[in-house]
Structure 1
Amino acid sequence: MFIAEMPWSVPLTVRFQNGTSHIFSSVSDALDFLENEWPLRRGQRYERAVKTCRGALHRTTPVAVAREAFIAACLEADLPVTLEHVTAPQQNRGNGPRAA
């Protein structure tokens, strides 16, 4: 079964050689980039990333494995990767109004 969107728990920012960057937040984002915009289109890690991303979208590979393969391919291509900081919504910790 093919799943169109498989989000990562923590998005990744990839910085390109021209100084721009892009945030990848899902397997489909990564696979689209690998198949259509990848700068090298070769290398063991690139090939593994394509295979594992396809596997994740078909639910035969864990999403976390595809994410790690994408990171490895980026490093192989000298594309620095950083983790995006995801902030959790503020929770009410019982510090509401007090009775006088």
Structure 2
Amino acid sequence: MPAEILFATPVYVRFSSGMSRAFQGVYDALDFLENEWPLRNGERYKRACDRCRTALQLRSGAQLARDAFVSACSEARMPVEAMPPVWQRSLPSTPAAMNT
């Protein structure tokens, strides 16, 4: 397993079932894209996979991978919420809606 490269701001994805899941970094997002993604097509999906792979190869930054992952979630109609960066969290809180 590749070493995880953390996002500055984790991403919460809400599924149609009402459940949500936090994605802390690039590997976590790519694993979800490759193994659990509901739609295996779409330009944003392909771009997210590519950007996550290049970030894990240290050829691009985690922010590009994160942005592409958020965009792919939007394409798949999965609402995305953002959490505050890890260093700003002191108590458990509910995620804030993200404007994407």
Q: What's the TM-score once normalised by structure 1's chain length?
A: 0.83
The answer for the alignment partner of 1:25 in structure 2 is: 24
Identity level (%): 47
**Count of aligned pairs between the two proteins:** 89
What is the RMSD computed on CA atoms of the aligned residues?
Answer: 1.8
- Give unpaired runs (5+ residues) of structure 1: 91-100
- Give the Cα–Cα distance (whole angstroms) in 2 for the partners of residues 29 and 18 of structure 1: 20
Change (3 A) 1:58 1:78: same
The answer for the alignment partner of 2:38 in structure 1 is: 39
1:89 CA drift (Å): 6.8
Spell out the pairing of 1:12-91 with structure 2 (5 A cutoff).
12-86=11-85, 88=88
Runs of 4+ in structure 1 off by over 3 angstroms are none
The residue type paired with residue 72 of structure 1 is S
Change (3 A) 1:88 1:47: same
Who wins on radius of gyration, i.e. which is larger?
1
- Give the Cα–Cα distance (whole angstroms) in 2 for the partners of residues 5 and 20 of structure 1: 24
Q: What's the TM-score once normalised by structure 2's chain length?
A: 0.83
The residue type paired with residue 3 of structure 2 is A
